[in-house]
Amino acid sequence: MMQSQLSWGRMLRLLRQQSRTDLRTLEWRSLLLALILATSLAGFLTVLGHQLEQGLSRQSEAVLGADLTLSDARPPAPEVIQQAESQSLALTEVVQFSSMISQDEQLLLSSIRAVNAPYPLRGEIVTVPQQSTAIPPPGTAWAEQTLLDRLNAEVGSRITLGYQELLITAAIVRSPDRGTGFRSFSPQLIINRADLDATGVIQPGSRIGYRLLFSGDEASVRRFSEWLEPQLNPQQRLASVYTDQPMADGAIKNASGFLRLSSLFGLLLCGLLISLCLRRYSSAQQSRCALLKSLGMQHTQILQFYLLKLLSGWAIAAIAGTLLSQLLLFIAHQLLQSLIPGGLPDPAPEYYLVGPVMSLALLLILGFSPLLQISNTPVMGLLRQELLRQNPLTYPARIVLILLLGAVLALYLDSLLNALLALLLIGLCTLLAGVIAATLLPPLARQLAKRFKLGRLLLYRLRQQRQWHRIQLGIMSLLLALLCSLFLSQTELVERWQNQLPEDTPNQFVINIQPWEVQAVGEFLQQQSVEHTLYPMIRGRVTGINGLTPEQALSEQQMEHNALHRELNLSWSADRPAHNPLTRGRWWSSPEQPEISVEQEFAETLGLQLGDQMTFELAGQQITATITSVRQVEWRSFKPNFYVIFSPGALENYPQTFITSFRLSSDEAEISRGLLKQFPALTLIDVGQWIDQANTLINQLIQASTIVLGLTLAAGILLVQLLLHQELEQRRHENALLQVLGSTPGQTLKLDLLEFTLLGLLSGVMAALLSELLTGLIGLRLLELPLVWHPAIWLLLPLSGAVIFLLGTLGAHRKSGYRQLRQS
Amino acid sequence: MLQASEISKTFPGHQEDLTIFRDISLSAKRGESIAIIGQSGAGKSTLLSLLAGLDEPSGGSISLLNHPLHSLDEATRAQLRAEHISFIFQSFQLLPELSALDNVQLALEIQGHPQPEQQAAYWLDQVGLTDRYDHTPAQLSGGEQQRVAIARAFATEPALLFADEPTGNLDEATGQDIIDQLFELNRSHQTTLILITHDPHLAQRCQRCLRLHQGALEPL
């Protein structure tokens, strides 16, 4: 009979009737908000991460533009091409380099790809308007939209590259084979290889990237790759769709991983919030449950009823959370638009399910215990209140829940190791910040207690609540620190790095100056009163030290030095560069044998001494010279610097180009335009533009992280608010008693405010400390910036912490009265 | 000692105001014991909170030791409470994190007593809890908790003591002990006692017995 009375229809009606009451309770509202946040965080990051990864590696072959690519700083050797042809592989050659292009008065540093048909071998270049040819015909070029935007150009405009004028016939929407490294982040231009010579920008000694693209059946590609691999020199790089995930270690993959990891803290907070809300909710529902049971409702029906309730709450949160994540995705797309040329692809529909599924998994795992507690409520609880209590979970049950939670997070992060590491790091930081702050709390409070009538009670409260205080302090400290560090990185690091450069630091580099242009370029710059020095530059490789090969002469650790694995820029000079003071030895006067001066850090790492002999390979020839001095080089001076400078006479007969750098103020842009007009084949690099491009990239990633952190902050504030509310409800009874004993409501409010403001202040102090450490570490490791204190954050963060807690306390504070004492 | 004249209390309601009682008068002399009985919801606690200066009457006047409670500000009323009024509750109302000694000491500190610790210890000795100073409420029996509450109530040497169902949570034997102790201290310290109870036997131990019924206070 009972069964028929509590049919599903009736249960649903009861559910509807109770939903309004539920919505009035703080714990149900917080639960819904936590589920919305978890859904949107997980959903937003999964979709965005997937789009970012897909955006660059739509398909592996499309990114490479081939099945196999060989990158080199030199033109490809004929035997490689012959071998590929003998394996019946299709191949094509790409030349890529950085150069300034101009349109009217505008100059822009761009990455130029000169290509031959067929190109690409895999995938295709998508353009607007669509083109009938696979690559731009001679005399024309295709440009990425960012390039056109920054030059104020459009399809149909004419641009100048070196000596050649090119007509832009299409905007590139998407193209494979963008290359790797920072060069790939500059706006790109694709030109026909036939136009390359006419531009005149490729000269002996120019810095050019050559790439050979191969495609064919898998067996042939593998065979060819196995033949080629043992012959590679250190500056050659082979990438294959079969062995490499070309973007696996790329910046975008890292960025997407970073975004996902940074959401973990937010998800953990949501989990904690869900767990707390459910505990409070089930505790509040126990007497109602006892009543329902006394009316004849069965254990399984109670379980079904509350499960239905949780699922209905989840359904609402899943819809709201998904909508919120869509909004955030829209914002993120605007921010990251230029990072992915051609925009972000549409994600597969199943990725939209990750957010709701994630919040459902959290709800079911964390809701398991409270649901069980509710359904096990004894009817006797109606008569004896003490029976209505929550029993803690058994240890095995706790371990199972933690493992389940860990498994869900590992699935979400796609890596068990990352999940564990991140959990450990977040846990440790929160614990450390919490423990330190909680340790500082009592001595601070003791000082305050002396000045306050109810001071001793403050100390009791702090002792009683120390467990919650540790959690609140830890969470709030880490939240504020993360927010502050992001803000500082965004606004300060790059600016500080730029500001620390001396006023006269050169901001224009000119490379590829041919020997026959040296005099004219020098005269041009002198006429414009531009201070400069021209240095010859010859490419060479270290092949011997004191008659031994580097491998024989050096330890494995020394062999890791970057300069041993690539061609170095060498120079020669009669005079010591003014910005390179000697630390050891003497500068040469007119030596009979070749002498060299080496850079200090290079000499120290390799253990080079004065009198040691080094052998270099230049243009296929060996030249040996004696070290007679060691120089100090400030690499960040933006002046031409070299690891090795030869004495005059040693290198004059080798092919060489010249390099110079100088400073132009913003109103002297005419000079660089004039220089390029007169010498179109020079490569001029505007450092300002380079820094701007790097800055934009950093800022875009930071802004995307800010969205994640915003959601995390919302979850954190919600959690702190819930804990505050819980504590203030307990305090309400205590305050009523204090008022009965002779305190005023003002005094008890002051006590509450004092306690929580102290918590806020301390979490701000901990956050300031963590931020200093975090940004200091970033600055030191990435930009070699000295550690600096930020006095402002030591004031602002404690103040923000105090205000958050203060407002939370005032918002949750309710009047106490005699009624509270009667009710208890 | 205490003089309430024609006091009334009305709470604003959604549709119409709710009047708990109207024109109630009551006076209590020094050392007198008065029982107030009444059904649940009759307004006993509301009356008590008005007489103790915890709430303000909608009308009428209350004078405590010649101070017009109804016209004093919150801070002065709190000071008067700290110095002259004590409470004993059905559910003891001890702070769970404080020891027995600290619970008694807290009231003395709020009062501004010069030697709160000695005074608290003296009163715990008086109620027979010499060996329970450091016990928290959770470590004490119900009877012992109510004794701590009595020690706290008398330690401040109040002129007026309100006892709100003081035996409601105790078994009969313990309740009897507590009541004996309460009346003994009331007698020896000449404290005015206002006792709120359901129990007619307990009410009869007071010198006067009043019933709050339908918003009016009638002698029994």
Q: What is the pLDDT of residues B8-49, one digit of tens each?
A: 988 887 778 888 888 899 999 998 999 999 887 788 888 888
Q: In a 3-state reduction of DSSP, which class is residue A822? A: helix
In a domain, B115, yes or no: yes
Instruction: State whether residue B74 sits within 8 Å of chain A by CB.
Output: yes
- Residues of chain A positioned with their CB less than 8 A from the CB of B111: 742
Say if A434 falls within a structural domain. no
Asked whether the predicted pLDDT for residue A27 surpasses 60, the reply is yes
Record: contact B48-A818, CB cut-off 8 A: yes
Query: B-chain residues within 8 Å CB-CB of A732?
Result: none
pLDDT at A162: 87
Q: How many CB atoms lie within 10 A of CB A607?
A: 12
Q: Are B4 and B62 in contact (CB under 8 A)?
A: yes
Report the half-sphere exposure of A364 (CA within 13 A, side-chain side).
Answer: 11
Residue B7 lies in a domain: no
The confidence score (pLDDT) of residue A703 equals: 72
Residue of chain A nearest B49, judged by CA positions:
A818
Q: Examine residue B13 and state whether it is found in any structural domain, yes or no.
A: no
* Residue showing tokens 């801070």: B75
Over residues B92-122, the pLDDT tens digits come to 888 887 889 988 988 888 888 889 899 999 9
The yes-or-no verdict on residue A820 having pLDDT over 50 is yes
Interchain contact A739–B (C-beta under 8 A): yes
Structure tokens at B104: 């008694």
As a whole number of Å, the end-to-end CA separation of chain A is: 39
Q: Is residue A776 part of a domain?
A: no
pTM above 0.80, yes or no: no
CB contact under 8 A, B109 and A821: no
Sorting pLDDT into bands at 50, 70 and 90, what band is A823?
low
The CA R_g of chain A, rounded to the nearest whole Å, is 34
Percent of chain A with pLDDT over 70: 87
Q: Closest Cα of chain B to A746: distance in Å?
A: 8
* CB contact (8 A) between residue A818 and residue B98: no
Residue A265 has pLDDT above 80, yes or no: no
Where in the sequence is the domain holding B100, given as residue range(s)? 31-55+82-219
What average pLDDT is seen over chain A? 82
Whether the CB of A823 is below 8 Å from some CB of chain B: the reply is no
User: Which of A633, A662, A691 is the endpoint of a domain?
Assistant: A662
Domain count, chain A: 2
Give the strand pairing for B160-164 and B85-89. Answer: parallel
A200 belongs to a structural domain: yes
Among A379, A390, A375, A391, smallest CA distance to A303 is for: A375
* Cβ contacts of B81 on chain A, cutoff 8 Å: 740-742
In a domain, A586, yes or no: yes
Q: How far is CA A594 from the centre of its chain?
A: 47
> Beta-carbon neighbour count of residue A500 at 10 Å?
13
> Number of folded domains in chain B?
1
- Give me the residue from A460, A743, A824 closest to B78, CB to CB: A743
Q: A824 touching B, CB under 8 A?
A: yes
Q: Whole domain around residue A605: which residue ranges?
A: 532-662
Is the CB of residue A676 less than 8 Å from the CB of residue A100? yes
Here the CATH number for the domain that contains residue B196 is: 3.40.50.300
Cβ–Cβ contact B91 with A under 8 A: yes
Name the pLDDT band for A710 (thresholds 50, 70, 90).
confident
Alpha-carbon distance of A538 to A573, in angstroms, equals 12
Q: CA A130, CA A119: separation in Å to the nearest integer?
A: 16
Is residue A126 a part of any domain in this protein? yes
Of A195, A214, A240, the domain-final residue: A240
Is residue B11 assigned to a domain?
no
Alpha carbon distance A370, A284 (integer Å):
11
Q: List, in order, residues 6 or more apart from A59 with CB less than 8 Å away.
A: A122, A123
Last residue in a domain, options A662, A692, A710: A662
Confidence of residue A61 (pLDDT cuts 50, 70, 90): very low
The answer to whether residue B18 is domain-embedded is no
Give the pair of three-digit tokens for residue A445.
């409070």
Going by the DSSP 8-state scheme, the letter that residue A548 receives in this structure is B
Test the A interface: residue of B45, B113, B145, B148 with most A CBs within 10 Å: B45
Contact A163, A681 (CB under 8 A): yes
* Cα→Cα distances A537→A573, B102, B170, Å: 10, 84, 99
pLDDT at A210 over 60: yes
Closest CA to A65 of A101, A16, A113, A105: A113
Q: Is the pLDDT of residue A438 over 90?
A: no
pLDDT digits 0-9 by tens, A563-622: 887 778 899 998 898 889 999 999 988 778 899 999 998 999 899 999 999 999 987 889
Q: Is B95 close to A737, i.e. CB distance below 8 A?
A: yes
Separation between Cα atoms, residue A745 and residue A747, nearest integer Å = 5
- Please state which of the ranges A4-13, A635-644, A709-718 shows the lowest mean pLDDT: A4-13
**For residue A250, pLDDT beyond 50:** no
Nearest chain B residue to A454, by CA: B110
